[in-house]
Amino acid sequence: MSNDTRREAGNSIEILDTTLRDGAQGEGISFSVRDKLAVAEALDELGAAWIEAGNPGSNPKDMEFFRLAGGLRLQNARLCAFGPTRKKGGAAAADSGLQDLLSAETPGVVIFGKSWDLHVTEVLRTDPEENLAMIAETIAFLKSRGRFVIYDAEHFFDGWAANPRYALSTITAALDAGADRIALCDTNGGSFPDRITQAVTDTIRAGITLGIHTHNDADMASANTVAAVRAGCRHVQGTLAGFGERCGNVCLAALIPSLQIKLGFRCLPEGRLSRLTELTRKVAEIANVAVPDNMPYVGAHAFSHKAGMHTDGILKAPGSFEHIDPALVGNDRRFLVSEVGGRSVIAERARKIEPSITRDHPVTEALAAKLKSLEASGWAFESADAGFELLIRRELGRCPPLFRISAYRVVSEHPTGETIACSHAWAKVWVEGKEEIAAAEGDGPVNALDKALRRALTRFYPELERVRLSDYKVRVIDGKDATAAQVRVLIESTDGSASWSTVGVSADIIDASRAALVDAIEYKLIRDIERQKAAARVL
């Protein structure tokens, strides 16, 4: 079936995001109640159909979330609470866990139960028939209370491989009790696509919406989910940024574009796919984790090009070295500047400052030669875009002398006893013939120098008060020289609305830091000047 035919047939995938439940079980992930509310709003903005928001009976935080969740004005998503089937030997109506699920007052409930007879006998310590009764009675009870019930068949694929007849009987029990969705779970994350395809094919039947829930322990979560969808699953569970138990869940940010763009399924409402990068990074930021740079589709490196042949091809025909247009998922194309990048990349970057620059322009040739010389000495500009822009501006004569440092000094103290070590710096700067001297104390020599420089310059450039150093990395370029080795310092700065990176290289780590700091300040000031000029032209 073609992509167009699928779209015309309304071949939709129902997305359930479990960042707030399975994602919260990932190591190092700890959401506050406010965090959970913010994540729910972001997932709703993206257009997820369901948000699995936690187990109200497991902890006070989830109970508080569900109490406050009624105030959320969700436009696309519905919330669901998560919990197990009733306890063995008890009645569903009297089960405290099920009462907690009802108290969450969510339109949907996700119930998990055992599909693998090993778990029935060795973990639950009950008999197979009681397990079937636990599944059926739980679902029937929740349906009688008006809930939309999604049944998660835990360990289904391992259970199906060990005892397919019993695994399938648990699915039949859930369906006969009225389950609205059945999600087959690769709970241990060790299955391969062939097993997924065979098991889904063996399970699927007319009139039910079958789902898939995969983990990434064998690095197969995405492949397994695609295999399940191809075999007929139309409900997909995962976490937006991929974090979760052990190696994580299937990463929806990497999966959804493959399903929607490549296979023609509709996973998100119209226009929401272009917000995927923005909202994935937002959710990761709330969780205090970084989106891996090499994450497909939404990572910072997903559309980065470094090799000269690649960049030349992209500039001539984007499809030659990109599998999709990055704008489809809200990401950006980046050309990395390096000694292997070629003149096409340099010319493309230079044209942003001077449109007349071509690949064979003398400025391009001069920059290419300078770049190779600098990188041979340990400089690297692929992660220092602002630093390379300044290099271009200096070659073009478009870098006005905004300030000059005539002297600086940094002193670090490491007293004995309980006194905390600290650093002091002073700097003497000249701006338009006027001298300013400032001193500062910092947590380390670089922090002290940064403060002293900005304190001296703020008299002339008040906008520098908003600038701060947001990241600092040091790399020893060649360790064979031991403590005399050249070091490369990469600095990321921000003014609260934008971030930029600069680089410095020296055998003296303070001097390398000084070079990167000076470039960071110059870039900020030049960018502000250019913005003011552009605003004046508009007026």
Backbone angles phi, psi at 60, to 5 degrees: -65, -30
103 neighbors 111 (Cβ within 8 angstroms) = no
Q: Coil, strand, or helix at residue 111?
A: strand
> What is the b/e burial string over 213-243, where b = at least 16 CB atoms within 10 angstroms of the residue's CB?
bbbbbbebbbbbbbbbbebbbbbbbbbbbbb
- The per-residue pLDDT for 6 is 35
According to the model, what pLDDT value does residue 293 have? 84
Residue 480: pLDDT band (50, 70, 90) is low
Average pLDDT (318-347) is 79
Please answer whether residues 515 and 494 qualify as being in contact, where contact means their C-beta atoms are separated by less than 8 angstroms: no
Per-residue pLDDT for 141 more than 60? yes
Q: Is the pLDDT of residue 387 over 80?
A: yes
pLDDT, tens digit, 9 for 90 and up, residues 284-313: 988 988 888 899 999 988 887 776 666 566
Instruction: Find where tokens 């001097």 sit.
Output: 511
Residue type, 327: A
Between 235 and 302, name the one with better pLDDT.
Answer: 235
Looking at the chain, the whole-number percentage of residues with pLDDT higher than 90 is: 69
Residue 464 has pLDDT above 90, yes or no: yes
434-462: pLDDT as tens digits: 999 999 998 889 989 999 999 999 999 99
pLDDT at 194 over 60: yes
DSSP 8-class letter at 49: S
CA quadruple 193, 199, 204, 210: dihedral sign? negative
3-state secondary structure 430-493: EECCEEEEEEEEECCHHHHHHHHHHHHHHCCCHHHHHCEEEEEEEEECCHHHHHHCCEEEEEEE
Q: Highest-confidence range of 51-60, 95-104, 466-475, 494-503, by mean pLDDT? A: 95-104
pLDDT for 421 beyond 70:
no
Q: What is the pLDDT of residues 27-53, one digit of tens each?
A: 999 999 999 999 999 999 999 999 999
Measured over the CA atoms of residue 235, residue 239, residue 242 and residue 244, the dihedral's sign is negative
221 has a pLDDT exceeding 90: yes
> pLDDT tens digits, residue range 148-163?
999 999 999 999 999 9
Whether 7 shows a pLDDT value over 70: the answer reads: no
Q: What is the mean pLDDT of residues 506-519?
A: 93
DSSP for residue 341: S
**Between 57 and 56, residue with greater pLDDT:** 56
Predicted pLDDT of residue 338: 58
Q: Is-contact 231 201, C-beta < 8 A? A: yes
Pairing relation of β-strands 235-238 and 304-305? unpaired
Q: Where are the domains of the chain?
A: 8-286, 304-376, 377-402+467-539, 411-460
Give the side-chain half-sphere CA count within 13 A for 224: 29
- Structure confidence at residue 450 (pLDDT): 92
Highest-pLDDT range among 14-18, 201-205, 358-362, 465-469: 14-18
With a CB cutoff of 8 Å and minimum separation 6, the contacts of 112 are 82, 83, 84, 85, 151, 152, 153, 154, 185
Element (H, E) at 202: helix 193-203
pLDDT for the residue numbered 260: 97
DSSP character at residue 116: S
Q: What are residue 215's DSSP bridge partners? A: 249
How open is the CA angle 242-334-534, to the nearest 5 degrees? 120
Cα–Cα distance measured from residue 156 to residue 167, given in angstroms and rounded to the nearest whole number: 7
- From the number of C-beta atoms within 10 Å of its C-beta (0-12, 13-18, 19+), residue 519 rates as buried
What is the reported pLDDT for 80? 98
Cβ pair 190, 201 in contact under 8 A? no
User: Exposed/middle/buried for 422, CB within 10 Å: 0-12, 13-18, 19+?
Assistant: middle
Give residue 310's pLDDT: 66
Give the mean pLDDT of the chain.
Answer: 90
Residue 444: the pLDDT is: 87
Element containing residue 499 per DSSP (H, E): strand 499-506
CATH hierarchy code of domain 377-402+467-539 = 3.30.160.340
Which position has the token pair 């030669």?
A: 369
Asked if 121 contacts 127 with a C-beta cutoff of 8 angstroms, the reply is yes
Average pLDDT, stretch 325-354? 79
Distance of alpha carbon 89 from alpha carbon 126, whole angstroms:
9
Could you tell me the sign of the dihedral formed by the alpha carbons of 13, 19, 20, 26, in that order? positive
pLDDT reading at 409 higher than 60? yes
Q: How far apart are CA 380 and CA 323, in angstroms?
A: 27
What's the pLDDT score for residue 440?
A: 93
Q: Where does residue 360 rank: exposed (0-12), middle (13-18), buried (19+ CB within 10 A)?
A: exposed
What's the pLDDT band for 505 if we cut at 50, 70, 90?
A: very high
Q: 418: helix, coil or strand?
A: coil
At residue 382, the pLDDT reads: 73
What pLDDT score was predicted for residue 9?
Answer: 36
Q: What is the pLDDT of residue 343?
A: 77
pLDDT for the residue 420: 64
DSSP 262: I
Fold classified for 8-286? TIM Barrel (3.20.20)
Beta bridge partners of 408: 427
Count CB neighbours of 529 within 10 A.
12
CA dist 501 and 524 (Å) reads 11
In sequence order, the β-bridge partners of residue 154 are: 114
Of 47-61, 299-313, 487-501, which gets the smallest average pLDDT?
299-313
Judge contact between 477 and 463, C-beta under 8 A: no
- For 417, residues 6+ apart whose C-beta sits below 8 A from its C-beta are none
Q: Answer with the residue of higher pLDDT: 95 or 3.
A: 95
% residues pLDDT > 70 (the chain)? 92
Residue of 379 and 227 predicted with greater confidence? 227
Structure confidence at residue 4 as a pLDDT band (50, 70, 90): very low
Q: How far apart are the first and last CA of the chain?
A: 54
